[in-house]
Structure 1
Amino acid sequence: MVLSFPIPLRYWLHTNKRLFSKIHSIIIKEMHRYYINKARQTGIKTPRPGSISFTQRAGSAVNLNPHLHVLLLDGVFTEINGVVRFRNIDAITDDEVAWLCENIAKKVMKHLTKEGYLDKDGEVVQNPMMDDLFLENEAITAASYASIAGMIAFGKNAGKYVTRIGSGFGYFEEIPLAKGKLCYSVNGFSLHCNTSTNTHARDRLFKC
C-alpha cells in the first residue's frame, strides 16, 4: 500500500518528527485493523497481521513529498493448538480500499484537530510546532515549503509556482473518489493498493 498526504500535512510531517511518528502509528494501526476485522469475519479468532513500512521523502519529480510505502502480508497469523499458522484471506476490494482510505483520513484529521493544526471545520491553522532545525534555519524552512508546494524558493522568481498543485484537506463530508483500480483519494489523502507480490516470487520480495 502507498499512502500520500495532503500538501499542508506533508510540510508538517517533514518539519516535526514527533507528529510524523504519531501519524505513522495511526496509519499502520488502521491498516492492521482492516486485516484483523476481515480475518474475524471468516472465523479467525486471534488474527495477527504483519507489515513493514518505509518512508519515502521524494516524489517522481524529486520534489519534497513525504509519503509511506507499506508492505503487508495478505493474510494473518493465528495460533492453532499452540502452533502459529499463517491464514490467507481474500484480496482487498475497491470498496475496502475506499473504506480504509476514508478511515485513515478521518483518524489523522481528528488527531490534527486535537493538536491544533486544523480547526473544527477542517481549515488549516497557522501552527509553529516544528523541530529545532527548522525553527533555527529560515532558509531550510523556506526551501522545504517551496519544494512541497511546487514553488521556487530563492532568486528573482521566488514564490512563483513551478507546477500546479492540488488542494488541501478538502471538507469533512467528502466521500472517497476512485482514482484507478484499487486506488482512492479523500481529503487530500491517496491510498494505492494495486501492487502485490506472489508468495513464491522471491526476487520481487527481495526488491521490496
Structure 2
Amino acid sequence: MTMGLKFQYSDLQYERRQPEKTILHRVIRENFVGTLRSIECAHAESGGGFFTPLPYYVKNEFLKFLDCGILEKGFLRLHCASCNASKLVGHSCKCRGICPVCGNRRMANTAANLVDQVIPLGQVRQWVLSLPFQIRYILAYNSEVLTSLLGIYFRVISSYYILAAKKMGLPNPRTAAVTFVQRFGGQLNLNIHFHTLFSDGFFYTNKKGIILFKKIKAPSTEGVEKINKKIIKRFVRALRKRGFLNDGYKDDVTCDYGHAQNEFMTTAMAASIGRKIAWGSRRGCKVQRIGQTNEVAWKPKQGLRLSYINGFSLHANVMVKSSDRVGLEELCRYVARPALSNSRISEDEQGNIIYALKIPYTDGTTHLKFTIEEFIVALVALIPPPRVHLVRYHGLLGPNCKDRKKVIPIQSKAKEPKKESDHYPPKEYWIKWDKLYQRVFKKDALICTKCGGTMKIVADITDPEAIKKILSALGLEDSSYTIKDGAPRINGPTYYPSD
C-alpha cells in the first residue's frame, strides 16, 4: 500500500441510494396525481360528464416508481457475522418507463445476459432504423403493426447476408439477430426506432452437420441505401394493406386512425413525437429551448454506411470484432439504456424542469425547459404499454429455433429432467444484484464497511411492523413520503392511492 494513503473499506462498498431526495421523485410525488386528475376533469367536462380514464398501467408506473428504493416499503437485510453490522437494500420497482435506476439495472442485466448466453461468437454489426413521424405514431399504439414491420425489417437485412452466402456457393445460410425497440429519443420525446445487433455474416452447416459462422465484407454506403429503399417499399405496402398511409405521408401526426383507445394518450404520444407540448397553456407549442444562438434549418445527417430517404434513416457503420466481447457488452448497454437520467434533470428558480441534452443541437441548444405539468405529461408518453416486448430475437436466436443452442456462446447449465414429473431448473437470466453490481462498477456490494468482511443476505423484510423496528434500531432517516393531491376527484375508476 502506498505510504501516506489511508485505506478505507468504504472506498469499495455499495452505497444505498436515496431516491426520495432526487428531483424526479419529488416532482412526481407532489404533482402527478394533481396533473392527471386535472386532465381527466377537463376531458370529463368536454365530454359532457363522460370520460375515459387514463390507462391503469400509466398510473401504476408512477406509483411503483415512488416506492422504488424506499426502505419503508420493504428491503433486503444484509448482516456481517464478523462485526455484527447491518446494511439495508430497498426493493426495486422494475418499471420499464420512467425509473432511471431500474432502467439501468435492466440495461446491465440484459447486456450481460446477451454477451454471456445469447449472441454467438463472431463479428457483430449494429443496424439502426429510424422512421418518419407518422409511422412512429402508428407503432406507438399498435403493437401488432410494430411486430409486423419489425419482421419485414429483419427479413430485408437478412436477405443481404443470405445473398452474400449464395454468391459463395454455401447452401441453406441462416442469420441471427437481436432487436431493441427503443421508444424514446434524447429529448424526452417518444421516438419508436429499432437497434438491431446482427451477427455480421451468416451461419451454414458443413458436411459433418456442424453449424459454422462466416463473416462477410462490410456493406457499402450504396448497399445500405439499396437496403433502405427496399425497407421503405415493403413498409409502405404493408401499412397500406392495413389501411394506413392511403393519403401518403403527413406532417401532422395527430390524425386518428379510428382506434380511439384513449383520447389523451393519443394526444400525448402525437405531441411527444412532434416534440410539442400536449397539455396546459402552451398546448401545441414547441418545447422551450435554452442556449439557442441562431436559427439553423434541419438537414439529414450524412456519413459512411448511412442512408436517409423521406424520414427513413438506416445506419450500419458500427461493428464489433469477434474478439471484443467487452466492447460488445458496452454496445448492448448503449442500445438497452433507459429513457431518463437523474443527472440530466435540474430546476430553475421558477421551479421549471431543465433537461440537459447529451448532444447539443446545431443551433446551440443545450437544455430543454418544461413546466411541471408539461414534464409529467412528457413522462406519460414514454411509459410502454404492458405485454409488449422491447427486446426481440430473430433467426437462429428465435425462441422456437431448434438450433439455437448450437450457436449461443455457452450451453445452458440446466440439466435434462430425469423423469417426466421432474421440473427444469429456473433459467439464469436475472443476475443477482450483488454480482451485477460488481460486474458493472468493479466494487463488492457485500463488503462490510466496518471490518471488510463479507456480508450475507439474511432476510427479505416486508412486514410494516418489522420494518419500523429495524429502521428505528439502526437509527436510519425516515424516507417515507406523502403523495400530494392537487385537483378535485371525479366519479369514475381513477385508481389513485386516495380513492
Aligned counterpart for 2:151 among listed residues 14, 17, 25: 25
- 1:204 is aligned to 2:333: no
Q: Which residue of 2 aligns with 1:5?
A: 131
State the Cα distance separating 1:60 from its structure 2 match.
1.4
User: How has the CA–CA distance of structure 1 residues 8 and 165 changed in structure 2, closer, same or farther, with 3 Å as cutoff?
Assistant: farther
Determine helix, strand or coil for the equivalent of 1:193.
strand
**CA–CA separation in structure 2 for the residues paired with 1:110 and 1:179:** 27
Q: Which residue of 1 aligns with 2:236?
A: 109
Q: Which residue of 2 aligns with 1:186?
A: 309
Aligned counterpart for 2:277 among listed residues 144, 152, 176: 152
1:4-46 CA distance string (max 9 Å, x none): 0000000000011111111111101111111111221122222
Q: Which residue of 2 aligns with 1:78?
A: 204
State the Cα distance separating 1:127 from its structure 2 match.
5.2
Q: 2:257 is aligned with what amino acid?
A: P
Aligned counterparts, 1:138-149, within 5 A: 138-149=263-274
Using the size of structure 1 for normalisation, the TM-score is 0.85
Determine helix, strand or coil for the equivalent of 2:212.
strand
- 1:118 is aligned to 2:245: yes
1:92-144 CA distance string (max 9 Å, x none): 1111100111110110011112222112x6345955254xxxx3432222111
**CA–CA separation in structure 1 for the residues paired with 2:225 and 2:232:** 11
Q: Which residue of 1 aligns with 2:194?
A: 68
Q: Report if the CA contact (8 A) 1:116-1:127 is conserved.
A: no
Using the size of structure 2 for normalisation, the TM-score is 0.37
1:148-167 CA distance string (max 9 Å, x none): 0111111111011238998x
State the Cα distance separating 1:202 from its structure 2 match.
1.2
Determine helix, strand or coil for the equivalent of 2:204.
strand
Aligned counterpart for 1:89 among listed residues 216, 234, 252: 216
Structure 2 unmatched runs, 5+: 1-126, 289-295, 333-499
Q: Tell me the number of residue pairs that the alignment of Structure 1 and Structure 2 aligns.
A: 194
Q: 2:212 is aligned with what amino acid?
A: R
User: How has the CA–CA distance of structure 1 residues 30 and 88 changed in structure 2, closer, same or farther, with 3 Å as cutoff?
Assistant: same
Q: Higher Cα Rg: structure 1 or 2?
A: 2
**CA–CA separation in structure 1 for the residues paired with 2:136 and 2:239:** 13
State the Cα distance separating 1:179 from its structure 2 match.
2.1
State the Cα distance separating 1:204 from its structure 2 match.
1.6
Determine helix, strand or coil for the equivalent of 2:219.
coil
Q: Which residue of 1 aligns with 2:28?
A: none
Q: Report if the CA contact (8 A) 1:113-1:122 is conserved.
A: no
User: How has the CA–CA distance of structure 1 residues 148 and 165 changed in structure 2, closer, same or farther, with 3 Å as cutoff?
Assistant: farther
User: How has the CA–CA distance of structure 1 residues 14 and 165 changed in structure 2, closer, same or farther, with 3 Å as cutoff?
Assistant: farther
Q: Give the % identical residues.
A: 34
Q: Which residue of 2 aligns with 1:41?
A: 167
**CA–CA separation in structure 2 for the residues paired with 1:75 and 1:18:** 29
Structure 1 unmatched runs, 5+: 167-176
Greater RCO, 1 or 2 (C-alpha within 8 Å, sep 6+):
2
**CA–CA separation in structure 2 for the residues paired with 1:62 and 1:123:** 24
Going by fraction, where is strand more abundant, 1 or 2?
1
Q: Report if the CA contact (8 A) 1:149-1:165 is conserved.
A: no
Determine helix, strand or coil for the equivalent of 2:307.
strand
State the Cα distance separating 1:87 from its structure 2 match.
1.1
State the Cα distance separating 1:181 from its structure 2 match.
1.0
Q: Report if the CA contact (8 A) 2:134-2:249 is conserved.
A: no
Q: Report if the CA contact (8 A) 1:77-1:85 is conserved.
A: yes
